[in-house]
Amino acid sequence: MKVRFAPSPTGVPHIGNTRTALFDYLLARKNKGIFILRIEDTDQKRLVEGAEEKIEEILDWLGISPDEKLKQSERLDTYKKYAKELVEKGVAYEKDGAIYVKVPDEKKLSWTDAVGNKQISFEGKDVEDFVVLKSDGYPTYHLASVVDDHLTEITHVIRGEEWISSVPKHLFIYESLGWKPPVFVHLPVILSTDKSKLSKRHGAKSVLELRDEGYLKEAIINFMALLGWNPGGDKEVMSLEEMVNLFDLKDVNVSNPIFDIKKLDWMNGVWIRKLSVEELAKRVGSKDLKLVELAQSRMTTLNDFGILTNFFYEKPKIKLDQSDRIVVERLAKELSNVKTWKTEEILLVLKKVMIEEKVKMKVLYKIFTGSESGLPLPQSLEILGKEKTFERLNV
């Protein structure tokens, strides 16, 4: 089995495109096959500098690196050869330096798509003449993808269902050149919460953007896999290895999945709590294991660690009113009597002050941290230490 992920480096692919790469990887690994990265850079006018490197960075970071890499701009002579062969066979014609293919009106082009195992057919009269080689010598997607899929012996073509209308053109090229077509696998399109197609205009992000926002690669991969695939049962949290073992094309859904950021947040929190304290400390860049352990259960993303623990490293700027100052003085007096600086004793003092001064815990949070909520305050003050706690009280 051989599959390919064939992005065009016209920008950084968003999560919908990267899902295709993940499904390619899962299918290849499940069947001990080969996964190829093919850079489709034949549309030279739309290329974005650095996009190719970003595509590779995404795959490497996620841990789904390809076995081989191919670049279409390095294979122009190959495409010209087959474009001319189509002309010689009488199924293509030249016009203004470009080569077009014409599908006969009476031709019927059909295939069984692996998603839903459904039969799809097109009439030749409904397929317009299409360019296979542009006047600049570069092939179009229709010719280059067919030639490369054949020459690299691709067995399964996985892509979004928006490409279904291109298949009859491709089938005609396969037939005209005497080649056997691969199995076509058209994945359901991912929708945004308003049921429109997921796009960058609707907040679709790249994996690299999600990484920078503090999402774990384990959570992103897990979340992406479930956008259109369900292995059965109610199991949702799975490692990449588990997904490889379970993956089967028959379990790819026909219905369009919804990109729900709340689901990703939930899943990211689950994966954060699955990490060891040592591993989480490494990922947030902290050497304080006690602090990481305290924050772990309250984090949705890795970036939350900085927000939750900022006051440990930097004294917050807080505006206190007169009633707050009275509470501060009371806290200073009571905390100065704490003999062993441990969570239990600190908690007793905080409770005493709250009861006798008739204030809520959020007032104490604000005095120490600048926020009205956060990590458990008694444990936080134990880690902060007595000296720094009193610094926070300006005492």
- What are the distances in angstroms from CA 353 to CA 327, 370, 383? 8, 18, 20
Catalytic residues: 200
Residue with tokens 């199995």: 183
Quote the tokens at residue 7. 């992005």
- Rounded to an integer, what distance in angstroms lies between the CA atom of residue 282 and that of residue 284? 6
Measure the CA–CA gap between 230 and 208, rounded to whole angstroms: 25
Q: Exposed/middle/buried for 28, CB within 10 Å: 0-12, 13-18, 19+? A: buried
Identity at 189, one-letter amino acid code: V
Task: Report which of 190, 180, 148, 186 is spatially closest to residue 167, judged by C-alpha positions.
Answer: 186
Specify which residues 113 forms β-bridges with. Answer: 118
Which residues are CB-contacts of 153 (< 8 A; sequence separation ≥ 6)?
2
Q: Residue 372's CB: how many other CB atoms inside 10 A?
A: 12
Rounded CA-CA distance 172/108 in Å is 9
Give the residue from 41, 45, 74 showing the smallest Cα distance to 55.
Answer: 41
Give bridge partners of residue 130 from the DSSP assignment: 101
Q: If you compute the radius of gyration of the chain from its CA atoms, what whole number of angstroms results?
A: 29
Exposure string over 280-317, b if 16+ CB within 10 A, otherwise e: bbeebebeeeebbebbbebbebbebbeebbebbeeeee
Instruction: Please give the Cα distance from 311 to 307 (Å, whole number).
Output: 8
- 151 neighbors 78 (Cβ within 8 angstroms): yes
- Alpha-carbon 148 to chain mean position: 27
